Structure 1
Amino acid sequence: MLSPFCRVSILSLDAGGILSLSTLIVLSRIENEIRKEIGSNDVKLIDCFDMICGTSAGGLISLMLLREVGLQEIMELVPNILEKAFEGSRNIISGILFEGYDINNVKDLFMKHIGSNFMASYKNIYCFVTATDVKHNPYKLFLLRNYTHKYNAINGESYEGINKVPLWLAAWATASAPTYLKGPSAQDIKKLGFNIKPEIHLVDGALKASNPSLIALEECARLNNKNLSSFIKEDLDTLVSIGTGKSPTKLTQSDFSGKSASTFEILINSTHLLSRANDTHRELLQWLSDRENTYFRFNVPNIGDINIDSQDVRDFDLIAKATRDYLFDEKYYEIKRLAHKLANNYIRSKYL
């Protein structure tokens, strides 16, 4: 349970594939500004938050932050992971018929770089990553957490999920965008020795929550046994949400309820389920309209047309330049204001 004596700070990371390079540049800038404020390079960004969450590539970053991997190392690892995950050729036909890129290669990468420890073994911060359960109709949001709930949600949805899951499996689930990577099916999960009832088949969380910010608020409210409005009013200190300038893949949902949904069936079964990142942003603005200096959203323009599996160095350069220009031209003072607030919170938590 979150401390009743301290207000809660949340970091939320959108989906986006290779566009998550932008996310990492934003995170690095925030961390550097916090270190300047405090006067120490030993402080990690993660030390300033109570909960982190992410979807797809944002989920991979969240899981590495949970392991307390430094941002500089993550900035080196993520492009490497994505480059190797997206090795080989893929087009929409091969993606639909043959599940996209080689999943065995991806699983090995996640085991090596994300790790095999269970999420629940990390207690330093609350963390979840999103997935979509396509085993049932309608498809539903499924959370892979490092914590459990004592309470049901008050006037809201109690999202299903598990916490007895290794990091690499959580990474596989959250990052399995249909036509790119096959997600862990009920059979895959059984083969790994997990007996989950009712059975689940997990794919990319972006089908339901490409921007998991609102889910994070709902999760924190549930942990505190409060409704969402009361939690925001009484317990929320800071919500930092980082986008990737990209809307999720468009998909559609039928009455299919067979043993294991194929990529083709998932594709023809999901449009009305999709939660666009900017829709969530607008909803958050409504919830937090009377809370000044609480909600910080960073979402770089002019990078949304880059393919999430691009391996073109020119695209990497474009993402980096667009992000740095955005941070200095549009968000310079907002970054400073956020860093000042998080640094003060950190100092209070450590020394008061």
Structure 2
Amino acid sequence: MTTSNASPPSRRSDAQINPPGPPLPVLRENGARLLSFDGGGVKGVSAVMLLDAIMRRVRDIELASGESADQTNRKPVDYFDLAAGTSTGGLIALMLFRLKMDTQECLKVYRSLAKDIFTPTLFGSKFLGSLFRTPTLILNAIFYDHEFLARPLKKAVEKVVDEYSNPSDKWRNSLVHPNSGMMFMCATLADAGESLLLRSYPQPDDAVPVTPKLRQVSESGAVNRIDITSAARATSAAPIYLPPEKWHGITFWDGGVLNNNPISQLWDSRFDLVQQGQPPPVVNFVMSFGCGHSEVKTHSIFKIFNTIARYIESFMANTEAKNLDFRRLVQRMRGRHDQDGHVKYFRLNADCGTKIFDMSDPSIMPALEKLTQEYIDGDAKQDIEQCARLLASRR
């Protein structure tokens, strides 16, 4: 990677010059391809594994058919037109589309990122923090301010950007970037409950928020100048786990408060793939990735605790509810002969049985990865094959 003698660009992008956005994609004849990542803390590793299985199969299919002789890992940004993510799902979308990683790179970085973000520090030691995890989290929440608690995320994201961008690129720290794939991360306005999509492309004129303060920031163009670190902190500011992000006088909570599964925001944003005033694009297929789904049995004297666990797993996370809503929409479009009635919808979400994983504990990742691999080799095998063949067609 080349270096520059010029001073490195500022981490923040609050200057009054808007970074140029990427060109609109040239859509394939069969229509657009959309990609969605749930939020799930460290459990996001499961989603990356699932997409990696598909992209590895895409490479095998292309090599076997003669479609391509390229032996390198396939990049999702070359196969999908728009990606969405929330919380750590937003970080995955950022890595794959804004920083243009392949899935193997993303998997390696995500494992490291999750440990950096979610391993608490006790007396300056991550080892002690992981050893005495729960009391460390309580002590840090009591005795330290928001900036201290958000520092691991900030440092982790900056480290990734430094490694996967060119130091001489004046827009390297901006979320909006001329060479980016099209993606966005969901954030939530804390005091009004409105969603804000933080995009790697300029906010369309007809997508301005409704809340007055948020609308003012958007219309001023500031939202198009947000830096990657601020955007990452905004989408990841999950109550309990990480502090809220304050940017331009606005306080953001994690996008998962409203859109932990951002499939509805992704579908609504398909309009961004064409110029304003043009008909909406035809969509070929939509892929949605969960971070592992648990079935909680409600019996015995622990029924009340099981009920609470199910509430946290299914309703606060709201991922499966969004999946069912979108599945119903697809069925209605087919029945009413909508222009997108032919759209293919895939939802991959590893079955974790009755095991409930703490989304803030990096130590659960090996066990979750094992279950995800079993899902890849079993129940998901047919869908992975079908998805890979659709992607490999390149039409």
Q: Quick one: distance in 2 between partners of 1:202 and 1:47?
A: 31
Distance 1:157 1:339, change over 3 A: farther
User: In the alignment, what sits opposite 2:262?
Assistant: 212
Task: For residue 53 of structure 1, give the secondary structure of its aligned residue in structure 2.
Answer: strand
User: In the alignment, what sits opposite 1:175?
Assistant: 236
Q: Quick one: distance in 1 between partners of 2:293 and 2:197?
A: 22
Distance 1:81 1:149, change over 3 A: closer
Task: For residue 102 of structure 1, give the secondary structure of its aligned residue in structure 2.
Answer: helix
Distance 1:331 1:293, change over 3 A: farther
User: In the alignment, what sits opposite 2:383?
Assistant: 334
User: In the alignment, what sits opposite 2:195?
Assistant: 141
User: Contact 1:149 / 1:223 at 8 angstroms: preserved in 2?
Assistant: no
Q: Quick one: distance in 2 between partners of 1:326 and 1:5?
A: 31
Q: Quick one: distance in 1 between partners of 2:323 and 2:90?
A: 18
Q: Quick one: distance in 2 between partners of 1:226 and 1:295?
A: 26
Matched, 1:22 2:72: no
Aligned counterpart for 2:359 among listed residues 284, 308, 319? 308
Among all aligned residue pairs of Structure 1 and Structure 2, give the percentage whose two residues are the same amino acid.
Answer: 23
Q: Which amino acid aligns with 1:277?
A: T
User: In the alignment, what sits opposite 2:85?
Assistant: 54
Q: Which amino acid aligns with 1:145?
A: R
Give the deviation of 1:105 after TM superposition.
2.8
Task: For residue 206 of structure 2, give the secondary structure of its aligned residue in structure 1.
Answer: coil
Give the deviation of 1:344 after TM superposition.
0.5
Q: Quick one: distance in 2 between partners of 1:70 and 1:122?
A: 19
User: Contact 2:177 / 2:201 at 8 angstroms: preserved in 1?
Assistant: no
Alignment of 1:292-303 (within 5 A): 294-302=344-352
Q: Quick one: distance in 2 between partners of 1:99 and 1:286?
A: 44
Aligned counterpart for 2:206 among listed residues 152, 160, 176? 152
Alignment of 1:174-193 (within 5 A): 174-185=235-246, 189=247
Aligned counterpart for 1:76 among listed residues 83, 94, 108? 108
TM-score, length basis structure 1: 0.76
User: Contact 1:150 / 1:223 at 8 angstroms: preserved in 2?
Assistant: no
Q: Tell me which moved more, 166-175 or 116-125.
A: 116-125
Give the deviation of 1:12 after TM superposition.
0.5
Q: Deviations over 1:149-181 (max 9, x none)?
A: 44526xx98996623222222111111211211
User: Contact 1:67 / 1:122 at 8 angstroms: preserved in 2?
Assistant: no
Q: Quick one: distance in 1 between partners of 2:241 and 2:145?
A: 6
User: In the alignment, what sits opposite 2:174?
Assistant: 118
Give the deviation of 1:47 after TM superposition.
0.7
Give the deviation of 1:330 after TM superposition.
0.8
TM-score, length basis structure 2: 0.68
Q: Quick one: distance in 1 between partners of 2:370 and 2:103?
A: 19
Give the deviation of 1:46 after TM superposition.
2.0
Task: For residue 211 of structure 1, give the secondary structure of its aligned residue in structure 2.
Answer: coil
Task: For residue 120 of structure 1, give the secondary structure of its aligned residue in structure 2.
Answer: coil
Matched, 1:284 2:315: no
Distance 1:130 1:236, change over 3 A: same
User: Contact 1:95 / 1:179 at 8 angstroms: preserved in 2?
Assistant: no
User: Contact 2:293 / 2:352 at 8 angstroms: preserved in 1?
Assistant: no
User: Contact 1:127 / 1:147 at 8 angstroms: preserved in 2?
Assistant: yes
Q: Deviations over 1:258-290 (max 9, x none)?
A: xxxxxxxxxxxxxxx967111111111111112
Q: Which amino acid aligns with 1:209?
A: N
Q: Deviations over 1:18-62 (max 9, x none)?
A: 111111110110110110111133332221000111111111111
User: Contact 2:100 / 2:181 at 8 angstroms: preserved in 1?
Assistant: no
Mark the structure with the bigger radius of gyration: 2
Q: Which amino acid aligns with 1:311?
A: P
User: Contact 1:2 / 1:223 at 8 angstroms: preserved in 2?
Assistant: yes
Distance 1:307 1:99, change over 3 A: farther
User: Contact 1:16 / 1:246 at 8 angstroms: preserved in 2?
Assistant: no
Q: Which amino acid aligns with 1:328?
A: D
Aligned counterpart for 2:188 among listed residues 125, 132, 135? 132
Give the deviation of 1:225 after TM superposition.
7.0
Matched, 1:44 2:75: yes
Give the deviation of 1:90 after TM superposition.
4.6
User: Contact 2:180 / 2:200 at 8 angstroms: preserved in 1?
Assistant: no
User: In the alignment, what sits opposite 2:19?
Assistant: none
Tell me, which stretches of 5 or more residues in structure 1 are unaligned? Answer: 190-195, 248-272
Tell me, which stretches of 5 or more residues in structure 2 are unaligned? Answer: 1-23, 64-69, 121-132, 163-171, 295-314, 335-340
Q: Tell me which moved more, 174-183 or 30-39.
A: 174-183
Q: Tell me which moved more, 17-26 or 86-95.
A: 86-95
Give the deviation of 1:74 after TM superposition.
1.7
Task: For residue 284 of structure 1, give the secondary structure of its aligned residue in structure 2.
Answer: helix
Give the deviation of 1:102 after TM superposition.
2.6
Q: Which amino acid aligns with 1:307?
A: D
User: Contact 2:175 / 2:226 at 8 angstroms: preserved in 1?
Assistant: yes
Task: For residue 147 of structure 1, give the secondary structure of its aligned residue in structure 2.
Answer: coil
User: Contact 1:99 / 1:180 at 8 angstroms: preserved in 2?
Assistant: no
